Structures are given as C-alpha cells and as structure tokens.
Structure 1
Amino acid sequence: MRPQSARRPGLFALCLILASFAAIMSTVLLLKMPVALALFAAWFAMFAIGKGLGHAYDSLQQGAFDGIRSGLEGVMIIITVGALIGAWIAAGIVPSVIYYGVALIDPSWFLPAAFLICAATGLVTGTSFGAVGTIGIAMMGIGHGFELPLPLVAGAVISGAYVGDKLSPLSDTTVLTASLCEVPLIDHVRSMLYTGVPCVTLATIGFALAGNHLSRSGYDMQQADAVMAQLQAHFLLSPWLLMPILATLVLLALRKPALPVIATGAVLGVICAWLAQGVTPLQAVTTLYAGNQGDYGTGYLASILNRGGIVSMLPVIAIVIFALGLGGLMERIGVLETIANALTRMVHRSTGRLTLATMACGFFGTIFGGAAYVAIFTAASMTRNIYDRLGLQRVVLSRNVEAGGTLSTPMIPWTSGAVFMATTTGVATTDYLPFLWYHWLVMVFSLLYGFTGFAMWKRPQPAPATEPTA
C-alpha cells in the first residue's frame, strides 16, 4: 500500500527506474558481474528512487520482504530438487536412465523423443524444474553420448518441460494464473490448448527434422559406446533403479504436494545409493547437501555426474530472493500501476495490441521481478481491466498471461528459471535461447490469434429486458 505522502511515479521517475535497472543489469553482460550482486545493487537504486518519491524506508523494506515471501515455496522446491539431483546421481538412477537411453533410443529420433518425454514428465508432475532436474539431466547425458549439439538438446529438454508447466492443471503457475485471472482452472487449461496443441505438434516436427538433418552425416557411435562403458565402470546399473523415478512421478500425478514428494524421491535416492552402489550411509546422506562427487575423468559427462546437492542451488536461491524482493519494491513504488494506466490508453480496442501488451507486461515482470510468479502477477494485474472493457472472456486473458509470463522466465539470463535451467543443463541461457521452439511458437500463435481475432472469445451479453405485456 502506498503511503499518503508518497507520490505516484511520473514519466521522469519511470524512465529513471528503467534506466537505473538497465544500467545495473548491463554489468552482468559487459563486466561479467554476478547476477545476484547486480540484483542486490538494484535494490538500493530502487530504495533511493522510492525515498525520492516520498516512501518511508520501512515501507520500502516491507515491500521487498513481501515480494520475497510470495516466492518462498518456489525457493524450497529449488532446494529440494538440488538434494534430489545429488542423491539420484549417487544412487545410479540418473546414470541408469542415460545408459538405457543411449542403448535403446535411435539417435536420429532422439531430439523429438527428448522433447516429448520431458513434456510428458512436465504434464504429469506440473513442474518444469522437476522435469529438467530429473529426466532432463539424463536427456542431456544421452545427447552428449550421441555427440549432438548440447544447446539444441537443452532447447528440446527445456521446451518439453515447459509444456507441462504451462498446460498441466498440476502446475503451480497454471493454478496461480487461473486464480489471478479469476477463471476456473479447467477452463483456463482448455483455452491454452488452442495454442498448446499446434505448438507442441510443430515443435515436435521441428526437432524431428533437426535430428534427421544431423543424422545425414551419420553418428559416430564411439562416443556413445564410451559413455556406456564409463557408466558401467562406475555404477551398478539396473532397470530396478528406475523405480524411484516412477514413484515420484506417480505421487506428483496424484496431485500430492510437490515439496514432500520431491523430498521423498531424494530419500529413495539415498537408500539406493547405500544399498545398490555400496556407499556408506553417511556418504549417501551427504550427497543431499554436497551433491555427488566422483572421479569420472574430464568432459561433459563428468560435469553431469559431479553435480547436485543443496550447495549447487545456493547461487540460484540468492538470485531468486533478490529478484523477488526487487519485484516487491517495484510494486510498492507504484511502477506497475503507472504502466497499467499507460497501457489502457495505448491499447484502444485492438485485441492484437492487447495481446501484445499482455505479453509485454509478462516480460516486464520477468525482467524486473526475475520469477514466473512476478511475471504472471504483472501481466494479469496490468491488463485485466482492459479485457473487461473490451468484453473479452477472462480465459483469453489467462492464456495470454501464460504466454508472456510463464514462458518468458527461462529466456532472461538473471531470472530464477533461466539460472536453474542453465545450472542444471550446463548450457548458458544465450546458447539454448534460439532453440526454445515451443516458447517462440506459443508467442507467435498468441499474437496471430490476437490480430486475427481467432479464439478471442467475447463475453455473452445479457438478454435485453422485455416489456411486460398488458
């Protein structure tokens, strides 16, 4: 809530806020400044601007803390996923998936298979982080075995994972979007199918064509054989070790809370590491915190096997906390309200402009808030009333909010989603960005629907009252 003595940011203040943020974040790309440090510096710039607008320090600090509090569940899930990754690698679960994947999957069809497998995982679990942190890292290992370009493999993995994060009724972002837009959850999912189905189809075809194009020169299976031999030399591999994955996916599909389910999967990994791989109970438990550590030589496969643990997620957590706090500061200063008022004047009665504005607000929240939760909030809150004025159904709003909010998260290098994806896959955001084909297709189709009017449903008008007969 803005204090009575505080002023709403005008054009000059808004430009100053945007310029300050742009200048600070440019140090990440130009000077290789740590993202967390740049975001923390942005806090103090926002504090200074907020004080200049008449806000008390206590009010600004509370705004930052409110922003952090809104994303604490996501922070805890990130921590738990880190523990799960470390335990599952030490247990031989991830190595078993990589081994059998290399042995059974045709290399020319691996890319569409990776996309669809991660999509199915995301749909039944409702979490892109969980999908990439489990099946995704195994797919990266298989892709390395086939000597495929790793940015392309990461693009297929992340694209597939976000199919579930966007379309699954189990996803927290899907539920949050439906709630903020005040639409029934199932109606929201049905609306997204209008863009989701054609985009999944086209992305699958695209990855299939890319895989077949790469196969024309033939695959050198020596790398794949070397990966399989390396895994056999260091781990006991068995189809039975896939059971913790199955148990975790089933529990998530049954709509059990994500945090305890992922923690249960991590505990199963500890048990398997102890019983199947012969590590001591203390070493097995330690992988939850420190990750898996072993002598696997050098190269990308070694980097996949030596990872995980809560420690590996601490940089991600720092970025998430600072990004969420920055989003809370922006809201407290009144930036969101000012932009919403400007958008109302710009949109007029064009559904195409409204779609573009909604997606732009989602990107605004992603850039300045650093998390999907912030992006969904900004996109919904800034444009919700405009949809009502144009007589559009709220399911159109919710569909566009997901396109610009949820899907923009792994695209901006300093956001929680992008940092997690880059850390987990070992591929930089700028490298996998061109290959997020599902994300780009959804945005293109959303704009196409907006400017053509297709699937831009109007609210039913109440029937006119009839005159009573004499």
Structure 2
Amino acid sequence: MEGEKKNIFFSLTPILYLVLFILLFRFVFVIPYPHPFALCFAGILSYLQRYHRNFKFLQSAFRKNLLSVFPAMEILFFVGILIASWAYSGVLFTMMQIGTNLIQPKFFLPSLALVSAIAAMVSGSSWTTAGTLGVALMGVSQVLGFSDMMSAGAIVSGCYFGDKLSPLSDTTNLASSLTHVPIWKHIRHMLKTTCISFGLAVFCFYLLNLCVWDPEGKELLPNENQLSLLLQKEIVLWKLIPVFIVFGSSFFQLPVRISFFLGIVSALVFPFLDNSLSLGVWNSLVFGYQSQTGVETWDQFLSGGGISSILPTEFLIVTAVWFGAVVEGFGYLNEILLRIKTWAKDKFDILLSTMGTSFLLNLVTADQYLSLVIPARAFRTLAEEKLIPEKDISRALEDSGTITSPLIPWNSCGAFMASSLGVSVLGFLPFAFFNLIHVFFTISLLFYQKFKIKSS
C-alpha cells in the first residue's frame, strides 16, 4: 500500500545496491570508472522495486536535484577551461616555480594544508582554491617527488578548513541562515572544535612528511635535474595577475563563474601580447593543453584541462542525480528520515541525527547544499522542542554536510576535487586528515557529553 510503513532494511536497499555494484565493478570487472555504472544500476533496480509508484515523483525529484547541482556542473566547465588557459599562457608554470622556491620540502605536506587553508579563507571557496592554487601545488608536489595522493589530501584538508571558517563561504552562510544564527556567532562556535581538528591534521601531515622525507638531507627527489633546471628559470611575476584577479574577485563576493571567467580572459591576454595566440588555443580550451617542454614531469603537470577533461565528471554527477531522484522520489529517503526522527530522543541524538542525515544526503543526492537544507528543515522544530541552541544545529550541519562532501566520489564536491587535482577521491581520502579527524572528533565529543550527563 502507498502509506504502508516499510522495514528500514527495505528503505536502505538502494544504498546497499550502490555499495555492492561499486565493489563488484572495481574488484571483479575492474572497470576504470565504476561509479556511474553502479549508480545507474542501483537506481534502475530501486526504481523497479517500487514500480507501483507514480512516475511523476521520479520526474519531480530528478528535476529538483538536477537544478540543485546544475550550478556546480556549470562551474566545472569553467574550471576545465581555466586550467587549460593558465597552462597555455604560462600562469601554472609561474605558480609552480614560486611554490618550488618558497615551500621547504621538510615541511611540504603541512605547508600545503596551511597555504590552502589561508587561500580558501580569503576567497571563501574551496573550489576556487583547489581549481587554481591547488592545481599549481600538485605540480610542485610532482617536481619534489611527493605522492599525489598525500598532496591532494593535504590540499583538500586545507581547502575545507578555510572554507568552513570563511565569512565569504556560501556553505557557511547557508548553514547560518538556515538556523537563524548570525554568521560570526556561527563561525566562533565552529572554532572550538574545528581548530583542534585542523591542528591535529597539520601535526599528522608533519609526521607523514617525516616518514617520506629524509631529515638528513638525502632528498627523495627523483627529478633533481628537473628541479635545478626549474629553479634556474626566470620567474615572470606579472603572469600572476590572473591569480590575483580570481582571488580578488572572490574576495569582493563576485560569483565563482565570474571569477573564473575573468581568470580565463586575463590569462589569454599574455599570449596575445607575446604574439603567440593562435587557433591552437581553442583546441586547448576544448580538448586540453598539450605541453611540449621536453621535461617529462613538467609536461605531465602542464598538460590537461579543457572541457573534455571534465565530461566524465559531469556524467558522474548526472548519474548520481538519477540515483538520488529514485531514493527521494520513491519515498526511500522519507522513510529513513522518519525512522531517524523517531529514534532521536534527546539533544545529542538530534545532533547525531542531523550529522547522519547530512552525510546520507551527501551520499544519495550528490549535492552538499541539499545535505544542509533538508536536515535543517527536518530537525529545526524538533530542536526547538528540546531547547537545543540554534548554533549547535548550525555547527552539526557543517561538521557533516560540508566536511564529508569531498569524500564521496559521486558527490559534486568529491568529483570536483578529483577532477581539479587529478587524483581520485578514493586515492586522496585516506590522507584528507582534517575531514576524517573532524568527523570522528565531533561524533566522539557528542557521545562523551551524552554519557557524561547520563552518568552524573
């Protein structure tokens, strides 16, 4: 029957299908990109499981979810073009030169996290930081011989710490507005836990750096000749103008797509002034730039970008939207939320439920904004009844919704980070220390407070 209450395991079957197919395609069939196939198959099976439901529910949910991720998909196109234009005009090479000169190898990984954090806090955007500065830092990582996965994990950690505490961040402002908490009050409340988590993460990166870097000076550089050649090259500082334009426009709260557009146009001015602008630039913007410096490491870093490079990511997001539409449109999600709300009895249950729901929505809707909006609506009334401070709810939303979004391969944030940094989500996930530590720390803190009150 339409209103019949289903078993919780029945409601969780779409997620179980998803996990099963991802494992099957990755380890049995060894398909390079298993997630779109897994998402499609899980969505189709879930749809067939509830074939009796009206098709209009599926259409409505798909349209709503697609509209929610469409801005992210649009920005991805700009990122692909931006990377290609910066590589073509020499902006990325200049950033790589400066990074190699300034960042000390013995503090490399913690430096990546700190630099990314500062940039994200200034720009208010983890995406802007990862798509610009993060790309250059990955090039520095390759020259110095550090693992791409470790470096990407450090960059993601810094990006999301800075984004979380920036008054310019869209997710920070969204969580604040949804719970009617003033933005600075919301940020100050997050500082109590977020700074501890980030401090632990930076310390972990320092320890990891010690493990991979010989403190006695026997540098782990496989590319020492390439490094010395890079350091001898003259740094053209004026090629950093597009970088300042992008971060400056973000600081003035211009939309991200506008910032990236200005970065693209300003970068293409350089080859125009050098009389090196040709029809090849359009080919680079669409199909990616092909570097031919003759140095393998440089070419590996400088080649890429373009619209074609982000098409697999766009396809992944669309399939995730389809899966989320099935889960939401056919009532699976509502049943899970109903069970969660029934289970939540006290303040700590509600905060844990808010975090769990945010993570679940990141998992099934592929959009971090929905992972903030839906739990805020679902638990707002319940929180008021239990006299829970609004700032606790706003912090719980960010502690899970914002933090876990880049750790899910088919989420728009995870797909963006993987596409920009050139490392799969599952590759950098074990090294995203801040994200992992913070989720564990906040959940442990809630359990500690709950049992402390019960025992007193």
Among 264, 267, 282, the alignment partner of 2:265 is 267
Q: 1:370 to 1:25 in 2, by over 3 A?
A: farther
For the 8 Å contact 1:270–1:285, the answer to whether it is kept is no
1:237-287, CA deviations, whole angstroms, 9 ceiling, x for partnerless residues? 4111111101210110111111111111111122223335x5324323443
Q: Is the 8 A contact 1:355 1:446 kept in 2?
A: no
The normalised TM-score by structure 2 is: 0.89
Query: 2:279: which partner in 1?
Result: 282
Paired residue secondary structure (1:216): coil
Q: Secondary structure in 2 aligned to 1:170?
A: coil
Distance in 2, matches of 1:19 and 1:8, equals 21
Amino acid paired to 1:362? S
RMSD of the alignment, in Å?
2.6
**Aligned equivalent of 2:289, options 292, 299, 305:** 292
d(CA) in 1 for partners of 2:372, 2:47: 24
Deviation at 1:124, TM superposition (A): 1.8
Q: Please give the residue correspondences for 1:344-363 in structure 2 after superposition, counting only pairs within 5 Å.
A: 344-349=341-346, 351=348, 353-363=349-359
Classify 1:406/1:28 alpha carbon distance in 2 versus 1 (closer, same or farther; 3 Å).
Answer: farther
User: Does residue 65 of the first structure (1) align with residue 94 of the second (2)?
Assistant: no
Matched, 1:372 2:368: yes
Query: Equivalent residue for 2:251?
Result: 253
SS at match of 1:368: helix
Deviations, residues 299-329 of structure 1 (Å, cap 9, x unaligned)? 5543321111121111111112222343233
3-state SS of the aligned residue for 2:403? Answer: coil
| Percent of residue pairs bearing the same amino acid type | 27
- 1:392-449 per-residue CA deviation (whole Å, 9 max, x = no partner) reads 1122112111121121122223322223322332323223212111112221331243
Deviation per CA, 1:198-255, whole angstroms, max 9, x where unpaired? 222222233233334424253155725404636988xx84111111101210110111
Unaligned runs of 5+ in 1: 455-470
Q: Distance in 2 between matches of 1:17 and 1:375?
A: 18
Following superposition, the deviation at residue 157 of structure 1 comes to: 0.8
Match of 1:338 in 2: 335
Distance 1:273 1:321, change over 3 A: farther
Seen in structure 2, the aligned counterparts of structure 1 residues 93 and 354 have a Cα distance that, compared at 3 Å, is same
Rounded to whole Å, the distance in 2 between the matches of 1:56 and 1:117 is 51
Where 2:11 maps in the other structure, the secondary structure is helix
Distance 1:7 1:299 in 2: 62
**2:419 counterpart letter in structure 1:** T
Offset, 1:129 = 2.0
* 1:41 aligned residue: 41
Q: Distance in 1 between matches of 2:266 and 2:334?
A: 47
Match of 1:153 in 2: 151
User: CA offset at residue 108 of structure 1?
Assistant: 0.9
2:417 to 401, 412, 421: 421
2:87–2:289 Cα contact (<8 Å) kept: yes
Name the amino acid aligned to 2:423.
V
Alignment partner for residue 427 of structure 2, among 427, 431, 450? 431
Shift of 1:111: 1.7
1:26 partner letter: L
Q: Which runs of 5+ in 2 are unaligned?
A: 451-456
CA distance in 2, matches of 1:222, 1:41: 43
Would you say how many aligned residue pairs link Structure 1 and Structure 2? Answer: 444
For residues 49 and 192 of structure 1, the distance between their equivalents in structure 2, rounded to whole angstroms, comes to 42
SS of alignment partner, residue 279 of structure 2: helix
Distance 1:344 1:78, change over 3 A: same
Deviates more, 1:64-73 or 1:366-375: 366-375
Provide the C-alpha distance between the structure 2 equivalents of 1:20 and 1:155, rounded to a whole number of angstroms: 28
Do 1:102 and 1:224's aligned partners in 2 also have CA atoms closer than 8 Å?
Answer: no
